[in-house]
Structure 1
Amino acid sequence: MPDISSGHVWLALAVTLAAGLATALGSLMVLFSRRPNPRLLAFGLAFAGGAMVFVSLTEILTKSIDSFTQAYDARLGFAYGTGAFLCGVLLIVLIDHFVPNPHDSLDKQDPMYRENNKAYIKRVGLLTAVAITAHNFPEGLATFFAMLESPSVGMPLAFAIAIHNIPEGIAIAVPVYFATQNKFYAFGASLLSGLAEPIGAAIGYVVLSGVLNHATFGWVFGIISGVMVFLALDELLPAAKRYAKGHETVYGLVAGMGSLAISLVLFKW
């Protein structure tokens, strides 16, 4: 492992920081928005949900399976990756079961329902930020150590993660702006979430470098992918549907998946 004084370490950290800051770029659309509105909120939440599901199932879960495959073999790699994904789903199901959830009923007569329930939107934004921040830590670790091992591998990975982080910034900024009507808070929330990547890289270098292995990354990526898929389906899409006036939910869902799919296709050419 290179010493902290090595230029390779600082280069890897700088690339990881740049990828993380791409999260803040997604919030710029919020800064230029005249005022928050329910249709924008619905589209933004659905866009984020589609992006999160696509990234989780095509990128993060794949990373989990690949990591387990390198640790064991292809058959066990797929089995362990699937098991880690289901563990992530089970983890968030248990949390959802024991923590009261205001979206349990979509009936407008429900006293929890309000057309402009800012407390509810704040909760959705907070959960989204927590989930994205949590998965930014392993992404930061992956980018950092890939750069240390081989810049030719780390740079493309950082670029792909940066592309993914833009809709994640939207996912955080839109509900925060709608709930607070404060553009600074919206931008700040996205920025702080993005900073989790270089922070995760630094922690990994200082504390975890001696114990990180393919199996560890397999479990981390698998669990995070399960958590993100459940969050998107259980939190983001129901919230988007509630505030939609027309087809914003399906348009946002398809746009979120499509933008990520196209970006990945272009990246691989």
Structure 2
Amino acid sequence: MRPANIVTAVADVLAGIAISGFLGSEMVNYLDHLLPVLCLCLATIGLYGGGVVFNDVMDAKLDTVERPERPIPSGIISMNQAIVLGSYLLLVGILAAFTVARVTGFIALGITVCALVYDKWGKHRAWGPVNMGLCRGLNLLLGISIVMPALQAYWWMGIIPVVYIAAVTYISRGEVHGGNAMTIRIAAVAYALVYGTMVALAYYNEHLLIASPFILLFIIMINRPLWIAMKNPTGPNIGKAVKGGIIALIAMNAAWVAAFSTLQHALLVLILLPISMLIAKAFAVT
């Protein structure tokens, strides 16, 4: 299920909720409005967990050669058990989303379709990185959809995670056999577009001072391993760059919260970072 990654998916949803304005002091009494937030967190846990379980199901034969330590080829879990688990997680995710709003449920269905298409076909095609990015972009919109007028106003923000995750996925293709420096340079340009947009939106919302430390943390987290991989694009170095890019999503989401909400809310999201990093020591991220 990639539990460390699931924590980053929860951060996506929390960032979307902050962008929607749901956390504004005039709109929300925390206890009265806690249920839809919890349902969205449950939804993204199910959707992300189910998606990566089916990723291992689709890759089971390939993993027997390239990654025999994975749960299915190593015999820790059977193929049938994995299919049941993945189906259950996706179903829970979709149902939890529909409890919030009909549009939220349809977004969850979109995430499910995108995840399964990527698992079956996308990862081996040129459009695969964009396909994976769509999963994250829709995940951000899942959070924003908690306030429907906000979804209509900020739907375009779903494009930003698409660009970022497409870049991460693009370089991840060299994780097993190594990659090339040009691929990593292209990813670096995409990264720069993303944090440039973050700075622009924080400035537009007059939250640049609050958001700057979070944006800086995000830049450091993604560029340090990327620079090492650019100088020496071996499989292990690329793997570290991909892992760094995924875990850094929490810093990215904390920056979005700081750009649209308060410092306190951003710090609450950032607390997920050490939790994800700790879990990543015990479980696979990529």
For normalisation by structure 1, the TM-score amounts to 0.31
For normalisation by structure 2, the TM-score amounts to 0.29
